[in-house]
Structure 1
């Protein structure tokens, strides 16, 4: 058996999956200890050891995190879960489990999953998008994650919203310290706040689905901003497929309204890039963590 283990270290839950090829053999989850690095570390070790004991085999391990392992010093940076920042997560896991461990940004893991056997399977180039409490992204080319010297490939959420107009509303400061980041428009909380209707993103989407005029207009604005933001990505990397994930990816109207809006801003007479919803939904992150090891010898 070629066993791959993947862990998704989330803000509220830590989940493990065991894959044999593309087949799921096991899935477990535990609550993520809040702001406690050592407890989170041992939580992950427990999940690995219990999974391997149940399956009777040792596997490779990939871990998806809400941040990035710095190529300069090996410690975590850019993490929404701030207790991870500055920690040698890879080194600590390798020491405790006595094996190599690979780390990946959660948006990268999402993209890798969807490019490997999800909605982008078979495509030469895939841009994966997370539209949730934050806005993230990843890039897979010919089945391999694109990475660079800063380990931030795909971080489109911290570019400024392109082709901005007064209709986009006032500038807002992002947690990164800059203003007008795409995340301050397209994340769920940001969309809800900018709509000024007193509704959560989920309630806003439901109201738009039911035809409530103000909510539908807010959704139109969101789609137009999303189209501009995606067009700027298409102009740079020209992906064959864009896969949407995260809570807002479940809004059916995105796949109807956004594609016709792209052509105005894409430097082409037509847009052949496909916009699709993730096949594995919330499971893409943990599956992609397992896919950080594309090939594993039998355990």
Structure 2
């Protein structure tokens, strides 16, 4: 059997961020079938890793039990790395996360990534339902990270140990959309993933902080930064712009505090949002990190964003209603890799 090799775009690997969308009129069962199919295709096409994100109380996102779906995707693929983009650590006991990812790494050795963030991935009421308290502080997150790392170390004298987990080499990434995690990742010498796909204006400042303050560790000798990009590619610009209205509607529903399932594309997006809402969403989905268009347009804009950020890796999110169009979008990106 021929090994599947990771391919590269402009010398760097490309990866997949899957929000496991539940489309309007469908359900989580179909979402997971689509994610499995997408993972198998993107592995074949040479993408480097496949990450799923923790969100709660959102009818359009199925990956709330993130560790469970990671195991399912890893079991349905052969070589692609699978992980969290990310686990929202304040929602969980660190021991539970260590045990879950220790289990995943034991099942799929050398293929599991543990990306963690400090946002709730939900609203305050849902955060309370998850944590049973809202007394957590920003200052607690570095302590949780220390605890998590300690569970993966071999320490026979520790009163509480993670089995499985102890002694396993599971890459920990810090995720962020501001400077907090950039500073912490630099201090700890960890790889850093920035959410450019919805916070593009903070990308360059956060990357500069990370690189300027990076301290070498047993994990990394030098900084390693990954940035997120929304890509909606199609064979014509008109169709790509039409497909992009699903993501625009998703952000509109979030802005209005009324999250929905992922809606089908519409012909006139201006009919459903106000000028103020349009300006706010276009600022969030900045054209540098939200790339919509034909293969040539995507390649040009992705090259420009890579040159601007000097990222070590790019992770691609494609919120597209129709599964066949989502596959085609990733196939177009794959065709740019060598």
TM tier, smaller: 0.3 to 0.5
- Output the TM-score relative to the length of structure 2: 0.33
Q: Which has the higher helix share?
A: 2
Q: Which has the higher strand share?
A: 1
| More contact order relative to length (CA 8 Å, sep ≥ 6) | 1
- Output the TM-score relative to the length of structure 1: 0.37
